[in-house]
Amino acid sequence: MARVVAGIGTSHVPSIGAVVDKGEQDSPAWKPLFDAYEPVKSWLADEVKVDEVIVIYNDHACDFSFAKYPTFAVGMSAEYEIADEGFGVRPLPSIKGNLEFSAHICRHLVYEEEFDITICRDMKVEHGLLVPMNLCFSHGEDWPVRVIPVQVNVLQHPIPTALRCYKLGKALRRAVETYGHDLNVAVMGTGGMSHQLHGERFGHLNTEFDNWFLNKIEVDPQALCDMTHDEMMDQAGAEAVELIMWLTMRGAITDDAHRIHRNYYAPMTTGMGLITMQDTL
Ligand code: FE
């Protein structure tokens, strides 16, 4: 039987991708961030031995557009192309999927959980998914894990509530647990912590809020589920509402899962956070 073995919450700041592509991970500004992920990489590869990752991310009007923004979209393909976000296609291996596992998850969500997702047979993936992959996994000609992309609309309002995202995580866990193949699955929730990239509050950071969020996601996620979008945006900037996606990860792991890694780095315009949690199984 497949099982959820780990949860990861991480930021997906796009400039991280450019740093990777230029090989500047050891530059003074970025080394503290990349160093924090080195133990995560070895933990995922050697300890929890992850086979598949369900990545909860948002598309930033790249493969989707404001003309049509699905609330929840799940990839159901054997492969996902790297999208061109306006600077050319990044030199990364394409993301390999697992068609049979994806199809099971889609069926389970629709038939058993009443999550009427958008099913994507063709999906190009961008920094919301690729930056967390860069941070948590090394790759040669291919990535060491297969991926199921789950795209969440955090741009075109009305967007899903934090509680709805948490419930999606619980539904995803049940979907994993009803798949009859032996697989170790990690669930990754992505999105920036405090940041606002427009208007009078451009560059707004709230490091106190971000650290409070990291505390709560570990021990009291219900407090975060009770937050409204307005409260999140008011506290931490408009784009911080991406944090609702971390709650999908938290819903997918057990209440008593324990934290393994935690990091926070905020010298620029976005609070960059990391938490990993290991399930009790
Ligand atoms: Fe984002």
pLDDT, mean of each 10-residue run, the chain (281 residues): 97 96 97 98 97 98 96 98 96 98 98 98 98 97 98 97 98 98 98 89 92 98 97 91 98 95 93 93 58
Tell the burial category of 276 from Cβ atoms under 10 Å away from its Cβ (0-12, 13-18, 19+): buried
Measure 179 CA to ligand 1 centroid, in angstroms. Answer: 31
155 alpha carbon – ligand 1 mean position (Å):
10
Q: Say how many Å lie between the CA of residue 280 and the centre of ligand 1.
A: 30
List the catalytic residue out of 127, 139, 157, 229.
127
CA of 270 from ligand 1 middle (Å) equals 10
Handedness of CA 166, 225, 152, 91 (dihedral sign): negative
How is the chain split into domains, by residue range? 3-278
Phi and psi angles of residue 68, each rounded to the nearest 5 degrees, phi first: -150, 105
pLDDT recorded at residue 279? 87
Q: Give the other-Cβ count within 10 Å of 48's Cβ.
A: 17
Tokens of 118: 């958008």
3-278 carries CATH number 3.40.830.10:
yes
Residue 65, strand partner residues = 68
Please provide residue 107's backbone torsions phi and psi, each rounded to the nearest 5 degrees.
-60, -45
What pTM, to 2 d.p., does this model score?
Answer: 0.97
Task: Report the SS3 class of residue 73.
Answer: strand
Q: Could you tell me the distance, in angstroms and rounded to a whole number, from the CA of residue 51 to the centre of ligand 1?
A: 25
- pLDDT of amino acid 204: 84
- CA–CA separation, 170 and 173 (whole Å): 5
Task: Calculate how far, in angstroms, residue 197's C-alpha sits from the geometric centre of ligand 1.
Answer: 10
What is the rounded distance in angstroms from the CA atom of residue 185 to the CA atom of residue 174?
A: 12
- Give SS3 for 242: helix
What per-residue confidence (pLDDT) applies to 117?
A: 98
Decide: helix, strand or coil at residue 250. Answer: helix
Give the model's pLDDT for residue 267.
Answer: 87
What DSSP state is assigned to residue 59? -
Bridge-partner residues for 278, per DSSP?
6, 258
pLDDT on residue 84:
97
pLDDT computed for residue 206 by the predictor:
92
Catalytic residue flag (residue 127): yes
Q: What amino acid occupies position 32?
A: P
Please report the pLDDT score of residue 281 as a whole number.
58
Please give the torsion angle defined by the CA atoms of residues 119, 103, 76 and 190, in that order, rounded to the nearest 10 degrees.
80
Among 12, 104, 108, 195, which one carries the catalytic annotation? 195
Q: Report the alpha-carbon distance of residue 67 to residue 52 in Å, rounded.
A: 31
Report the distance separating Cα 14 and Cα 131, nearest Å. Answer: 7
Residue where the block lists tokens 């040669």: 140
